[in-house]
Amino acid sequence: MKYLWIVCLFCCAFKPTKAQQQVIKIGKTGRIVYQLNNGKYDIWSDGKLLIKNVYVSYDGLIPDTGKVKRNFKQISAERYSITHTNNGFTYTQLFEVPVNGDGFYTRLIVEGEGAKTSRIIPFATNSLLLKGDPTVVQMPFDNDAWIKYKSTKLSQADLTSAEVTAVFDEQTKGGLVIGSVEHSVWKTGIKISGSRDLSVIAGFTDSIITRDKKEHGIVTERGKRYSSPLLYILPVKDWQRGLEKYADANISTEGRFIEKWQKAKPVGWNSWGSIQTKLSLAKAKGVVDFFADSCKGFRAADGTMFIDLDSYWDNLAPGGMNGDFSQLTEFSNYCKAKGLKPGIYWAPFVDWGKYPRKVEGGANNYEEVWTKVNGQYCDMDGGRAMDPTHPATKARIAFLIGKFKAAGFEMIKIDFLGHAAIEGDTFFDKDVKTGMQAYKEGMEWLVKQLDNKMLVYAAISPNLATARYAHMRRIACDAFSNITESAYTLNGTTYGWWLNRMYDYLDADHVVLKGVGPNMNRARIVSALVTGTLVLGDDFTDFDKKDVLPLLQNKELLKLADGQNWVPVDQEANMEAANVFYKPGAVALVNYGNEPLAIDLKKYLPVKVKKIKEVFSGNEILWEANKQINIPAADAVILTW
């Protein structure tokens, strides 16, 4: 009997008391169970233990699981804190649990003299308890260098996803979304190793993913405080709706810096698709004439269209930035006289010259403003990064944006913005220590100069951090006409469609039609439609117009380009790009292969549908249950009902 008493006493000694354990409710069926004695917590959802033994690391190295006195406090109906002190520092773990939500937010804060760090882990576990072998998505940090989204089975995962990840069951669609909703200080990576290990690293840098060649900058508030980014932990019944909620949370947390686009969803043309370096005033006017005189049906809902001069617009500006803009002004006026809107291009944080000279718009030399990394100038994509916090960089931006506005441009495509987000050795603004702090300062200055006078389109740029500063953003890197380029673009849409809730519009880059058959033309058009906006790229001064006019002026196509966003369907592990995209009343089907592809439409069409229409051909199809549709090789169809 005495042995039984000893066992009971032993168990009681190690069983957490109510004072040691705190429970925070998540919505109706979830909860956080926090152990004050070791700083770990479990996450329950729908009555099931989802993640066990979550811990944090304030210095990014050693888990904060020591036996110290932790104080739990309910700050409000939705906010809670756990605090402890050690070696003169106060450590606080915050939880915010929306009353009607399914997930929660969390942040770490360190306060005390000398508080600073370049790395902090606000969420980590080696006990993910997701059933089966779900799929995990690796998100890129930006859209440079033809980087792709990737998906793999969780058991095979050894990856770091930038800013956010989603883990989901391919059959039930349920799972987990975890990500940072703040991008103005930290770069964040979610590291996943196998089916159980996950850690969120604030202070993540990588030469391929974030383009950085040095460690993350120091984060501190006057040497007395620092905090992690705010994380959103969201158990979900539908991972796609979960990522859309995550997108909404980003905007509600940091807010927009640029005003929302209030006009019609844009359509347009861009010179880099085909004309490229051969841009001239005559060519530009010729394209304007084509759309004004021969292609009047290709317009936005309000009758507008943008004609955008990309790189090499300086062919029309003798003397470059300091030169004569009279040809650009002539082009701008010509557009407006024809009922079109002129657009321009610039990479505001890049020096293409890379040789010593005066910075346009000021008295400084370029050597003073080039960003240094490990003592060397930072060259990427053929251009040299400029310190976005330097007064000379800002003066150059104010100078050239002023000239663009004076010339009458109503749209600007801004490119290679990632050059402003690089972790540098130092920045001119001594309060700026990280690449994302520099990015915020540079982009806010740029948007202030634009003064809401133009449609702002971001090309190569950080995926999430740019949403505060642009109306439109390209979903991926450069794409032209081939089916492989449509597939590459739709890789971004397949896993990044949810970004359309952070930007007014996403874009699939310039659609080029010449040089491939009508099948690939259809696929490329579909890649643009299901992604967002429709921007053309051919040299229409040198084109057999009869082949493209019916396509470009197809009223049903243009109607589908407007309105509600498309959503990819049936993503699975190792899928490059979805074959099916859906919106109410329509489905788009794409075949990337060299052989016909049969698709069963049963799960995509409402039961009562008896007749469907193929939009490209205009043919009507009498629909029968369980009937398949065959998509020709390297082709696409759009069905409406």
Which pairing describes strands 455-458 and 472-474: parallel, antiparallel, or unpaired? parallel
Average pLDDT over residues 385-404: 99
DSSP 8-state symbol, 142: B
Position 545 scores a pLDDT of 77
Considering only CA atoms, which of 433, 327, 328 is closest in space to residue 389?
433
Q: How far is CA 559 from CA 293, 547, 611, in A?
A: 21, 21, 19
Considering only CA atoms, which of 177, 189, 185 is closest in space to residue 229?
185
Mean pLDDT of the chain: 95
Considering only CA atoms, which of 30, 56, 55, 27 is closest in space to residue 43?
30
Please write the tens of the pLDDT for every residue from 280-298: 999 999 999 999 999 999 9
- The answer, yes or no, to whether residue 209 has pLDDT greater than 80, is yes
Between these two residues, 127 and 622, which has the higher pLDDT value?
Answer: 127
Side chain identity at residue 455, one-letter code: L
Considering only CA atoms, which of 187, 24, 204, 211 is closest in space to residue 106?
24
Please write the tens of the pLDDT for every residue from 2-32: 444 444 433 443 444 556 999 999 999 999 9
Render 235-290 in DSSP notation, one character per residue.
Answer: EESSHHHHHHHHHHHHHHHH--SSPPP-SPPPEEEEGGGTTGGG--HHHHHHHHHI
Position 1 scores a pLDDT of 44
Distance CA 491, CA 609 (A): 30
Position 34 scores a pLDDT of 99
Position 473 scores a pLDDT of 99
> How would you label 289-313 residue by residue, b for 16+ Cβ within 10 Å and e otherwise?
ebbbeebeebbbeeebbbbbbbbbb
Q: What is the pTM of this model?
A: 0.95
Please write the tens of the pLDDT for every residue from 443-470: 999 999 999 999 999 999 999 999 999 9
Position 18 scores a pLDDT of 58
What's the CA angle centered on 244, arms 242 and 247, to 5 degrees?
A: 115
Percent of the chain with pLDDT over 70: 97
Beta bridge partners of 202: 120, 188
Average pLDDT over residues 211-225: 98
Residues in the chain: 641
- The answer, yes or no, to whether residue 350 has pLDDT greater than 90, is yes
Render 96-115 in DSSP notation, one character per residue.
Answer: E--TT-SSEEEEEEEESTTB
Distance CA 249, CA 236 (A): 15
Domains of the chain: 21-254 (2.70.98.10), 267-565 (3.20.20.70), 580-640 (2.60.40.1180)
- The answer, yes or no, to whether residue 582 has pLDDT greater than 50, is yes
Q: Are 84 and 65 in contact (CB under 8 A)?
A: no
Distance CA 237, CA 24 (A): 20
- The answer, yes or no, to whether residue 377 has pLDDT greater than 60, is yes
- The answer, yes or no, to whether residue 504 has pLDDT greater than 80, is yes
Q: Are 243 and 202 in contact (CB under 8 A)?
A: no
Out of 50-59, 309-318, 562-571, which region has the weakest mean confidence (pLDDT)? 562-571
Pair of tokens at residue 317: 């500006």
Question: Helices 545-552 & 518-531, crossing angle to 10 degrees?
Answer: 30
Question: 439, exposed or middle or buried, with CB in 10 Å at 0-12, 13-18, 19+?
Answer: buried
Position 475 scores a pLDDT of 98
Please write the tens of the pLDDT for every residue from 123-180: 999 999 999 999 999 999 999 999 999 999 999 999 999 999 999 999 999 999 999 9
